[in-house]
Amino acid sequence: MHKFHCKSILFIFMLSLSLGVNAFQKTQKSLNGLTGVYGYVAGQEATLNRIKSLFPELKSDVEFVQLEVETVYPNIKSKTSSKIIELAGAEGESMLSLLDKKIQEFSSNELTKANAIRFLSTVRSRSAGNIENPETKMFLLAINNFDNPVSEMSSNKIVKFNTKSEEKAKGIELSISLPSSWEERQGNTPNTVRTWTSEAGSGLSFISLLVLNSDDFMNKNIIKSRIESKNLQGLVPPNLNTLNIFQTDVSNQPGWMFTAEVKTKRLENEIFMNLKTLNVFYKGKIIQLSCTSGGPLSDIDDIKKEFRRTEGVCKYVHNSFIIDSVFK
């Protein structure tokens, strides 16, 4: 059962792996997302400046809207351009130059005062979180909160997930809260309910929710005894290097949490992963909620740094976990 858990985590990770560690992986998805955000915010900035120039009577309205944007998304244009260059180097610089040229060309189009006023209203709505394109919104949030990912959740930019009617949940209803910028995906193994991948689905960290049938029986005393005796059979897969483990509970159901690392090989790729897993025993099932960061073994220091960067998100998600079935 736990061996299957490890294989599931590795399988999920390998599906999204693009060798070369960066919190945004160099894939077409991430480049499209980042350049899309740059065009979005740079075009918005250019239009606001143009309104201020063409309609002096709207200057104070424009400056108020610009202040709102800067408050919600501080330095978002420079943050985005830096990520593009960090990811794509000279190719990224060329992309930015092309985008700036297109925005400049677009700025020669006619702009009426009525359209300018409507645009100011649109930007106010965007600052309130009403971004027209869901993927643009996810990338905006990922870039904006990159240095402190948990700030996204503390500012209530969250989505709530419930397993009601989910066949892979095996009759257990549970709820968790997750950051809005992490892309949700259907599980790819029989026991994986869902996964959520950082940086709008283009990152190197993911959260996975699994529900497994268990032939073992667990209660608080058994878990405590195994941890104290360092007999971790049934608690941690044998191929993991366990860094720490402690007893816990969720919705008054017995559980344990461990942090571990694993070095493994998939075809010609040597892989390293850090993971923190919350396990709960409930009605003959083990529920596992894992946070994982991984990449090529050669980038082990960067992977550990990425794991530390997202550990606040992991703690928030684990703390949000509720087994609703217990209360029904």
Q: Are residues 183 and 98 in the same domain?
A: no
Q: Are residues 211 and 315 in the same domain?
A: yes
Q: Are residues 136 and 156 in the same domain?
A: no
What is the distance, to the nearest Å, from the Cα of residue 36 to the centroid of all Cα atoms in its chain?
18
Q: Binning pLDDT at 50, 70 and 90, where does residue 295 land?
A: confident
Query: How confident is the model over 110-166, as pLDDT tens digits?
Result: 999 999 999 999 999 999 999 999 999 999 999 999 999 999 999 999 999 999 999
Work out the number of other CB atoms within 10 angstroms of the CB of residue 190: 11
Q: Are residues 220 and 296 in the same domain?
A: yes
Q: Binning pLDDT at 50, 70 and 90, where does residue 314 land?
A: very high
> Number of folded domains in the chain?
2
pLDDT at 247: 97
Give the C-alpha separation, 296 to 264, whole Å: 10
Q: Are residues 158 and 234 in the same domain?
A: yes
Q: Are residues 188 and 215 in the same domain?
A: yes
Pairing of strands 241-250, 285-296: unpaired
Q: Binning pLDDT at 50, 70 and 90, where does residue 188 land?
A: confident
The amino acid that residue 83 corresponds to is K
* Domain limits for position 15: 2-23+149-327
Mean pLDDT, all residues of the chain: 90
Q: Are residues 226 and 241 in the same domain?
A: yes
pLDDT at 10: 47
Which of the listed residues 114, 144, 174 is the one where a domain comes to its end? 144
Give the C-alpha separation, 301 to 141, whole Å: 26
Query: How confident is the model over 214-269, as pLDDT tens digits?
Result: 988 999 999 999 999 999 988 998 889 999 999 999 999 999 999 999 998 877 88
Give the C-alpha separation, 328 to 32, whole Å: 45
Q: Are residues 248 and 167 in the same domain?
A: yes
Cβ-count burial of 58 within 10 angstroms (0-12 exposed, 13-18 middle, 19+ buried)? middle
3-state secondary structure of 236: coil
3-state secondary structure of 147: coil
Q: Binning pLDDT at 50, 70 and 90, where does residue 23 land?
A: low
Among 24, 41, 104, residue whose Cα is nearest residue 78:
41
**Contact between 119 and 132 (Cβ < 8 Å):** no
Tokens 């979180």 correspond to 129
Tell me the two tokens of residue 290.
């894992």
Which of the listed residues 111, 144, 177 is the one where a domain comes to its end? 144
pLDDT (mean) for 179-198: 94
Q: Are residues 14 and 33 in the same domain?
A: no
**Contact between 44 and 102 (Cβ < 8 Å):** no
306 dihedral zone (left: phi>0; alpha: psi -120 to 50; beta): alpha
Q: Are residues 193 and 133 in the same domain?
A: no
| 4: pLDDT strictly greater than 90 | no
Query: How confident is the model over 70-114, as pLDDT tens digits?
Result: 999 999 999 999 999 998 999 999 999 999 999 998 888 899 999
3-state secondary structure of 21: coil
pLDDT at 9: 47
CA distances from 178 to 103, 158, 174, 183 (A): 35, 5, 13, 10
Tell me the two tokens of residue 124.
């106010």
Tokens 């250019």 correspond to 46
**Contact between 288 and 294 (Cβ < 8 Å):** no
